[in-house]
């Protein structure tokens, strides 16, 4: 299973990628929403994990663009963000995200969410 993780915080992205790799996933990485959209179009990941607050294109914009793309619209998206207000979660749902996890989080929680909901 191929997972794309997009977060502008390099250290956090590397930690999450390490945990996902240890769990047996192939990992793709992006530093912003625009990169995430480009990589998603090229690589067709099975799941996409997006931070919301990123430069160039934020995670909500990237999520909406992915869901609007005919080839990518069925790709599950998990928003992983520090934005935890009810309105933020509503915006994430409106953009098309399947799940919303707030930081700080447990990498195990993310892996369990992927395994229980998206692994065939």
Answer for the pair 75, 98: CB distance below 8 angstroms, yes or no.
no
Q: Which residue blocks in the chain are alpha helix, DSSP H?
A: 10-22, 33-43, 59-68, 86-95, 107-118
Residue 120 banded pLDDT, cuts 50, 70, 90: low
The per-residue pLDDT for range 25-47, each reduced to its tens digit, is: 999 999 999 999 999 999 999 99
The C-alpha atoms of residue 93 and residue 79 are separated, in whole angstroms, by 9
Task: Compute the CA torsion angle 21, 116, 2, 12 (nearest 10 deg).
Answer: -50
Return the half-sphere exposure (C-beta side, CA atoms, 13 A cut-off) of residue 69.
Answer: 16
| CATH H superfamily, domain 2-115 | Response regulator (3.40.50.2300)
Residue spans per domain, the chain: 2-115
What pTM does this model have?
0.93
């Amino acid at each position: 299973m191929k997972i794309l993780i997009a977060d502008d915080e390099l250290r956090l992205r590397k930690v999450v990628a390490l945990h996902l790799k240890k769990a047996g996933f192939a990992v793709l990485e992006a530093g912003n929403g625009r990169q995430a959209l480009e990589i998603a179009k090229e690589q067709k990941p099975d799941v996409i994990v997006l931070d919301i607050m990123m430069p160039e294109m934020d995670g909500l914009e990237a999520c909406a663009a992915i869901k609007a793309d005919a080839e990518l619209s069925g790709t599950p998206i998990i928003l992983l963000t520090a934005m935890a207000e009810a309105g933020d979660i509503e915006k994430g749902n409106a953009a098309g995200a399947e799940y919303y996890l707030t930081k700080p989080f447990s990498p195990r929680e993310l892996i369990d969410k992927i395994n229980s909901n998206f692994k065939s």
